[in-house]
Amino acid sequence: MTENTRVLVVDDEQAIRRYLRASLGAHGYELFEAATGREALEMVPIARPDMMILDLGLPDLDGVDVTRTLREWCAIPIIILSVRSQESDKVAALDAGADDYITKPFGASELLARVRVALRHAAPGDASSVFSSGDLSVDLARRSVQVQQLPIQLTPTEYDLLKLFVRHPDRVLTHRQIIKEVWGGISYEDELHLLRVNVSNLRRKIESDPAKPRYIITEPGVGYRLRTITPGAS
């Protein structure tokens, strides 16, 4: 359902904004536009978009800085759309809180698929159970996560990963299974990289020692498993 879904496009290239306006508008999305990072940050509380498509090479602020600033008070999905293809650029954007990364040039069909996935991840869930493992608690109905009874802020993608693990505790989930659920399995190699970065980010937020995780266990060459721990156990 795209009716009334509001998307803020942040790009200093008018041609790109025009293309996105036509591509997304034709599928029922309501578009807002900004040409600079500061303009984007000012527009978010006014336009109240459901998601943002953000270029990195803005004339005033780098898109990574825009993402990091936005994540201090807003959790809307952010898709990076950039000519930068270096792994370091992708890692920096994802570490700052972006949910996905698409390299220019891009196809409209792929972008629309990524938008749908990002919005689906951000939608409120209908699950009602509370999952606990050690000091980790996940309330699926309220979309809240706590570690040692302190709230943890996750990006929509990080939360969707954790939610997938929570729904299959102590079960090994393969890379392909996770990618299919979280990114739609559009391009396996690209999503495998995103998966590893997001798992790393998630571990930094919920693990006391991310280098020696207690909860999200790597199954080498296969995937990941969420380990259940009796509360209070070491």
Closest CA to 122 of 87, 81, 154: 154
Q: Helices H, strands E: what count in the chain?
A: 8, 12
Radius of gyration of the chain (CA): 18
For the chain, domain boundaries: 6-122, 130-226
pLDDT digits (tens, 9 = 90+) for 210-228: 999 999 999 998 899 999 8
Q: What is the mean pLDDT of the chain?
A: 87
Q: Domain 6-122 carries which CATH code?
A: 3.40.50.2300
Distances in whole angstroms, Cα of residue 91 to Cα of each of 40, 88, 98, 99, 123: 22, 5, 10, 11, 25
167-200: per-residue pLDDT in tens?
A: 888 888 888 888 877 876 556 566 788 899 999 9
Fold of 130-226: Arc Repressor Mutant, subunit A (1.10.10)
Q: How far are the Cα atoms of 47, 142, 202 from residue 32, in angstroms, in the given order?
A: 8, 29, 30
For residue range 2-32, list pLDDT tens digits in order.
557 899 999 999 999 999 999 999 999 999 9
CA 26 from centre of chain: 25
54 close to 79: Cβ distance less than 8 angstroms:
yes
pLDDT exceeds cutoff 60 at 161: yes
Give the pTM. 0.62
Q: With 0-12 CB in 10 A as exposed, 13-18 as middle and 19+ as buried, what is 215?
A: buried
